[in-house]
Amino acid sequence: MSKIYQICLLQPREFLQSEGERNVIKEINYMPDVSVNFEINGELYHVVSTYERAGMIGVRPFQYNEEVEEDLYEDNLTCPYCGYEDEDSFELSDEGETSCGRCGSEMEYERVVEVHYTSTPKKKNEVIKI
Ligand SMILES: [Zn+2]
């Protein structure tokens, strides 16, 4: 009999670090790669971590946008496929390719830096009345 792996629903910020009580939503007979997506009972789940020894697969739910956003321009890097906003975008290099932390889809990005100027008064030029 092949080994059974339990797909466990993780809480936000939770990772598979111990063999504790888990919310098992499905069992399968192989260990998937981290970052694949499953559809289980009509819901989408992203594999965020695996724990081979315990036979556990940690997943988080997500949803794809109905339409892919073509050119997003947001304060943080935002996934065109699921809308996930990466609040650690500042850690990325100025441009390149990355994958979404929530749905695993790949995207290209470029950091747009806006330039602003500040000014403070120093000396007002005098007017000579003639
Ligand atoms: Zn995404």
Could you tell me the sign of the dihedral formed by the alpha carbons of 24, 29, 34, 38, in that order?
negative
Query: Residue 115 Cα, ligand 1 centroid: separation in angstroms?
Result: 29
pTM of the full predicted structure? 0.78
Query: Residue 99 Cα, ligand 1 centroid: separation in angstroms?
Result: 8
pLDDT of residue 14: 78
Q: Which amino acid is at 31?
A: M
CA distances from 2 to 25, 54, 55, 81 (A): 19, 14, 12, 35
pLDDT digits (tens), the chain, 130 positions: 678 999 999 987 777 766 667 899 999 999 999 999 999 999 999 999 999 888 999 999 999 999 998 888 999 999 999 999 999 999 999 999 999 999 999 999 999 999 999 999 999 999 999 9
Query: Residue 81 Cα, ligand 1 centroid: separation in angstroms?
Result: 5
Query: Residue 36 Cα, ligand 1 centroid: separation in angstroms?
Result: 12
pLDDT of residue 11: 83
Cα pseudo-dihedral 28, 33, 38, 44, rounded to 10? 130
pLDDT of residue 13: 76
Query: Residue 1 Cα, ligand 1 centroid: separation in angstroms?
Result: 36
Query: Residue 130 Cα, ligand 1 centroid: separation in angstroms?
Result: 69
